[in-house]
Amino acid sequence: MLSLSYGTDMTYLIERISQNPKLPGLFIFIVCLIALGTAFFVEYGLGIDPCILCLYQRIPYVAAGLFALFAIVSKPGGFTQQAALLGCAIAFMSGASIAFYHFGVEEQWWAASCSGAQDLNMSLDDLKASIMAEPLKPCDSKDWVMLGLSVTVYNTLGSLFLALSSFTSLLIIRKLKEHSR
């Protein structure tokens, strides 16, 4: 068994990943499915409309989920798997940035225009329909609060944790590949 000098918690993680190098990609993919499923349930099941920043916060989960699929199907320890895990880390860091920005808008630390862009090539009828349509939800409202914190705080912290997990998995896989030579 491969022995690297880390603490006992890290040793356990290294052993799990050395036994199944596709585990980090699988973990990330499942987390992305759960996060996106929760967002859609809240929107369609509970009827809480998202603002445009809420919708933007879903994009990193889609990107990380796709990168995770590449990590799952690629050669263990290969360049593609490592690049995919790095892509996951970058996607989650982007997600943390968007979520933190959204939290700042909610707290009115800075102003944001969340009205969305209009297509300048619309016909008059389309423009009228757009104006008469239901307006987008403002980004500074907090509709979903748990334990006194907006869900954007949880998304920021969760995205940071997932970015760190992705990057740590990448480092472990690189280290395992070096020791297997």
| DSSP summary character for residue 146 | E
The tens digit of pLDDT for each residue in 41-62 reads: 999 999 988 999 999 999 999 9
Give the C-alpha separation, 46 to 43, whole Å.
Answer: 6
Nearest to 144 by CA among 44, 40, 45, 49: 49
- Position 71: which residue type? A
Distance CA 29, CA 83 (A): 15
Closest CA to 26 of 65, 59, 83: 65
* Sign of CA pseudo-dihedral 49, 51, 54, 56: positive
pLDDT tens sequence across 137-156:
888 888 778 898 999 999 99
Token pair 């356990």 in the structure block, residue: 12
**Which residues fall within 8 angstroms of residue 157, CB to CB, at 6 or more apart?**
none
What pLDDT is stored for residue 108 in this prediction? 87
What the block records as the tokens of 30 is 């499942």
Of 98, 93, 96, 69, the C-alpha closest to 83 is 69
| Distance of alpha carbon 119 from the chain centroid | 28
Query: Alpha-carbon distance 104 to 110, whole Å?
Result: 6
Per-residue pLDDT of the chain (181 residues; tens, 9 = 90+): 444 444 556 677 667 777 788 999 999 999 999 999 999 999 999 998 899 999 999 999 999 999 999 999 999 989 999 999 999 999 999 999 999 999 999 988 987 766 455 556 777 777 666 656 665 688 888 877 889 899 999 999 999 999 999 999 999 889 888 877 6
Instruction: Tell me the domain boundaries of the chain.
Output: 8-112+122-180
**8-state DSSP, 145:** E
Q: Report residue 122 CA to chain centroid gap.
A: 34
User: Encoding tokens for residue 122?
Assistant: 């619309």
Q: Does domain 8-112+122-180 have CATH number 1.20.1550?
A: yes
